Structure 1
Amino acid sequence: MNSENHPATTFKSRIKSSLPYTLAVAIIGFVSLWVRMRPYDHVFLSNGFVKFTSNDPWYHIRTLNVLLENYPQRMFFNPMTNYPYGSYIHFGPLYDQMMAITSLILGLGSPSQDLINTVGAYFPAVLGALTVIPVYYIGKYLGGRKTGILAAVFIAFAPGQFLSRSLIGFTDHHVAESLFSTFFMMFFMLAIITAKKKNLRFEDLFNKNFNVVKEPLIYSVIAGVMYSAYQLSWPGASLFLFIALV
């Protein structure tokens, strides 16, 4: 009997066939996190001091502290830079808001400075490890599951700017840019793939043919959310969108 007549059976077989790859991606993600946490002793010093690894991470910790003291209001103008004129903060607020929300949840609404510093230090490593997920799916949709696994391995261990900016203690928004832009591309690809698969046409939109429109529309909306998160992390995201659309 045709498996199309038994969607439950088809779903179970798909889950069974994808389980080894799901476990592989999970393992790669955890190993990626472990790699990014290797400089732990250089960040969390024996005297209890948290040593962030560059100038910008310290700046983000300051904006995070100011945000938590005035939550949910984040400062967009910093009078303590470019003295005596001050300057506007050019990067987006989402990265700091994500750290603030995490700190508030873990601190039950009143996080200590130690907790804030710990969240800030771990945040880039966690986001860097999560990037394995969209990279796997992009590779999968381009060349199959094995290609996806290979791509996930590459992004997990590849040296260079992405690794250095997603290490523990490098509390900067660049890793959020990478994560959200990659998720955007993943869902953007899915929207195009499903639209082609269902032979989506403008007539389907006008005629409200939801069976055809639904799946590409869902992926398109999620892609829009991911792009918005990217834009709220870095104003230069519009250039990336222009390249993707062209």
Structure 2
Amino acid sequence: MNTRADQLKAIERLLNIMDDLREKCPWDRKQTLESLRHLTIEEVYELGDAILDNNLEEVKKELGDVLLHIVFYSKIGSEKKVFDIADVANSIGDKLIDRHPHIYGDVKVKDEDEVKKNWEALKLKEGKTSVLEGVPKSLPAMVKASRIQDKVAGVGFDWEQDSQVLEKVNEELNELSIEVKEKNHDKIEAEFGDVLFSMINYARFLGINPEDALERTNKKFIKRFKFLEQNTKAEGKDLNQLSLEEMDVYWEKAKLKE
């Protein structure tokens, strides 16, 4: 692996490249904080895909793309004379030191749970008015629900046992089934949301990331359905003309190949 000196040299090289691009490239010169925003979100999702695929070579490349965006934003900040890459690094460095008094101070903690509780308490002391203040409004709903539950659990608002959470899941499912029978769309939607929220909470108690779990199922479904499509076509059959029972034969074959 590279030495710390090599690592710092590589970062300096990237900063110099960014300076050149911002000065000489028409596309790079045109970019703003706002124009880069959706591209950054896309890059983070691509990083997430690489992590789920356990493709470390792709993880390295996607991390590079994300790092480029951090450098890009910092360059724009320096042009506006508001902040630069040093300010960005110092800001997160200071925050990490302040929020880890068990490492950089004399606070004692016994486990991860205490670390998380201290983290949320320290954020409130920094001027936050709510432990939920740091949850981005634009997060996808599933990710947002997971972060909300993590944060409130950090201040002790939580179930004690996973069996209690499972009971809540079943309770919400029963309430959903009642509204389905009543055929009230708004109430069905509300109860369906409660079911999802409780399932996401249950995933946390099981040590499962619900987003990763669902994406794993997505990938599995896509793989099986493509197998169905390919084998149907190879046998000269039209997928649209097959019955559900006939499709299920290929589906079961796909499962056996996993």
TM-score normalized with structure 1 length: 0.29
Structure scoring higher RCO (CA < 8 A, sep ≥ 6) equals 1
Give the number of the structure whose residues are more often helix, by fraction.
Answer: 2
TM-score normalized with structure 2 length: 0.28
